[in-house]
Amino acid sequence: MAARRSRIRGVGSHVPERVVTNEELTQWMDTSDEWIRQRSGIETRHWVDGATSTSDLALEASHRALRAAGIEAGDLDMIVLGTLSPDHDFPGTACYLQAKLGVPGIAAIDVRQQCTGFLYALSIADQFIRSGHSQRILVVGAEVHSKSMDISTEGRDISVLFGDGAGAVILEGCDLRDPATDPHILSTHLHADGNFAEALCMKAPQTAVEGPRITHEMIDAKEHYPQMNGKLVFLHASKRMPESVHEACEANEIEVGEVDLFLFHQANLRINQQVAKQLGVDDSKVFNTVQRFGNTTAATIPLGMHEAIKAGVLKPGMLVMLSAFGSGFTWGSALLRY
């Protein structure tokens, strides 16, 4: 009997129109195009205008993924959405997206695993399909960072790195007949180490204090903005991402060299160059988008996937490795045949 697996049937993405250059950032903070390019590779990022929310960006990316898959929102039986910048603390952003898609009744799950959010969401969706629970799942990564960053000089180490955007894939059940050629998710590998939670976090609102979750004092102390130990994040990302790639290769008994394309999380070009070097992978096999979009956290991988398809780089039949690292710390990988 053919094994039940999931495959990617459609991919879509969306970034807001407004492009913010490194030069533009210098009007709010003491920074420079040279510093940002040299340390991160980032040249531009997109920011939303007005009342655009995370679920608005997710909606547009989802419509594009649905169109690419040739199906309607009514054909979905679940939504799994990764974000660290939800529309509201609760309910989950997947619920807002579900309502905007006009499909009340189907399951809607939020995943809060930051830069590894899309990989966690993909893995959850893959398990629901493998088990026979679901047939078509919308998997989304979406972020609006521009509304929650300190764009003064004090916050420049973080705010120059992030952008807004969304990416979505339609994951569909399939009967696997030939694992060597049939498109499918081969495996997913997820990890976390909460001992490093404070190395990259946003402290407020919080319940770990006496009294209300958010106070004027917390805001005055800028605890509602993210804070990061950049060097520690860089160090761990450069180690954990290659580890997770090797883990996926070992689980599927393949060599790293057999992978056709690497879609890494887009935090920093320097991290990805370091990871490729450690893996002995030529830079031409790594598709980076951080230069144009900055770090869009849970959206980087599906956004990159869509850009790679549009650029003709990602083609049917390719063996594709996804890997990410982020706040938590969380990290992981996924191997798929596209």
Q: Which stretch binds ligand ACO (CB under 6 A): 53-61, 154-162, 188-196, 277-285?
A: 154-162
CA nearest to 322, candidates 179, 123, 135: 123
Q: How far is CA 178 from the centre of its chain?
A: 29
DSSP conformation class of 312: T
Half-sphere exposure of 181 (CA within 13 A, CB side): 2
> Closest residue to ligand ACO, Cβ-based?
230
Catalytic residue flag (residue 265): yes
Nearer to ligand ACO, 293 or 325 (CB): 325
Q: Which stretch binds ligand ACO (CB under 6 A): 7-15, 29-37, 143-151, 308-316?
A: 29-37
CB of 250 to ligand ACO, least distance (A): 24
Q: Which residues contact 105 (CB under 8 A, 6 or more apart)?
A: none
Give yes or no for a contact between 39 and 271, defined as CB atoms under 8 angstroms apart. no
231 binds ligand ACO (CB under 6 A): yes
Query: Which tokens belong to 13?
Result: 């993405």
DSSP conformation class of 237: H
CB of 195 to ligand ACO, least distance (A): 16
Nearer to ligand ACO, 59 or 151 (CB): 151
Catalytic residue flag (residue 216): no
Q: Which residues contact 255 (CB under 8 A, 6 or more apart)?
A: 249
Write the DSSP string, 15-52. Answer: --S-EEEHHHHTTTSS--HHHHHHHH---EEE---TT-
* Residue of 115, 184, 236, 268 with catalytic role: 115
CB of 305 to ligand ACO, least distance (A): 17
Q: Which stretch binds ligand ACO (CB under 6 A): 9-17, 171-179, 227-235, 244-252?
A: 227-235
**Rounded-to-integer distance, Cα 37 and Cα 71, Å:** 40
* Residue of 265, 268, 272, 288 with catalytic role: 265
Residues 268-307 close enough to bind ligand ACO by CB under 6 A: 268, 295
- Answer for which of 122, 168, 267, 321 binds ligand ACO (CB under 6 A) is 267
Residue 154 backbone class (left: φ over 0; alpha: ψ -120 to 50; beta: rest): alpha
Catalytic residue flag (residue 115): yes
Nearer to ligand ACO, 106 or 144 (CB): 144
Residue 184 forms beta bridges with which residues?
Answer: 337
Residue position matching structure tokens 């790639």: 245
Q: Which stretch binds ligand ACO (CB under 6 A): 36-44, 56-64, 101-109, 278-286?
A: 36-44
111 binds ligand ACO (CB under 6 A): no
CB of 224 to ligand ACO, least distance (A): 17
- For the chain, the residue count is 338
161 binds ligand ACO (CB under 6 A): yes
Annotated active-site positions, please? 115, 265, 295
- Chain contacts with ligand ACO (rule: CB under 6 A): 31, 35-36, 39-40, 115, 156-157, 160-161, 200, 228, 230-231, 233-234, 237, 267-268, 295, 325-326
